[in-house]
Amino acid sequence: MNEITMHEVGLRDGLQIEKQVVPLEKKIAWVDALLAAGIKIVQLGSFVNPEKVPQMADTDKLFAHFGQPGKTPAAAVLSGLVLNEKGLERGMECGVGMFCMGVSASDTHSRKNTGKGTEEAVGQIIAMAQAALKAQKRVQVSIQSAFGCGFEGPIPPERVLSIVDRYLAAGIRNISLADTAGHAYPPQVESLYAEILKRDGKVELACHFHNTYGLGLANCYAAMRSGVKYFESALGGLGGCPFTKVAAGNVCTEDLVHSLQRQGLAGEIDLEKLVETARDLGRFFNRELPGFILKAGSIVHFEKAQ
């Protein structure tokens, strides 16, 4: 079995759709809890226009806070999403550890999300990724709507793979496929990752699924079988892209960790702490979050008792 690294994206992909703005102190408390629970990569936010997405207005401050000595465990990585050169510049200034950036394989989604078509966006993102790599930064590039689009419907795998080819040709080998619309289904997941690995067996694969149609954990299992190492998810199952057609939550972090621990993986993560933090998110937003473990409770203690 491959080693799994959890990448918490709840503070970005979880919060950006929420109307109630989360105060900086609350975000810090949640990130502290995530790091204490042993999550390896935590995405603190995105660098976007604060007037357009007020929820992300304090991303720079969050990085500044966690850049202070002793605030972040040595093994942890803090990632930030950048959409353009201005965002990259801000991220460089405030000490982002891992830059995430990507393009949508759906032209319609790409235009709605960034104002640019896929073709134009690929060139821009590759230039940004190369600049960040040159500055010795860790970089992950993604392809959104890789498994289907709420507007366009099916996305031909060739379209996704042509973007992968351009990433690989540019020397970028940490690649995430994002299922923005939640359209992915397990055999499709296995087949698309297998095609990438045929091109380059050493590429570092990441996945990002939404649970729109109930297949989030099934797709994670398919991704794990395919050799994917980095799993992006959101505490409580928060989230959804505001620029997609049917928005629904990310794969729920504590549900995924629970299922991994059931099979003897991710043992370094403190699941109880994750569940407590997810409960706090639910209290903050004052509603029931979609996660299953929040309702049913964990059963990993059965394994530990053996």
Binding site for a second copy (CB under 8 A): 148, 153-154, 182-183, 185-188, 211-218, 220-222, 246, 248, 252, 255, 258-259, 262-263, 291-293, 295-297, 299, 302-303, 305-306
Active-site position among 149, 220, 241, 252 = 241
Q: How far is the CB of 279 from a second copy (least distance, A)?
A: 17
Q: How far is the CB of 114 from a second copy (least distance, A)?
A: 23
At 230, list the tokens: 């980095």
Specify the residue, 90 or 262, whose C-beta has the smaller distance to a second copy.
262
CB 18 within 8 A of CB 45: no
CB 168 within 8 A of CB 174: no
Specify the residue, 46 or 219, whose C-beta has the smaller distance to a second copy.
219
At 139, list the tokens: 């970089």
CB 223 within 8 A of CB 189: yes
Q: How far is the CB of 243 from a second copy (least distance, A)?
A: 17
Secondary structure class of 236 (helix, strand, coil): helix
d(CA 35, CA 269): 10
Q: How far is the CB of 295 from a second copy (least distance, A)?
A: 8
Specify the residue, 94 or 178, whose C-beta has the smaller distance to a second copy.
178
CB 249 within 8 A of CB 211: yes
Specify the residue, 137 or 225, whose C-beta has the smaller distance to a second copy.
225
Q: Is 241 a catalytic residue?
A: yes
d(CA 224, CA 227): 5
Q: Which residues pair with 43 in a beta bridge?
A: 79
For the annotated catalytic residues, the residue numbers are 241
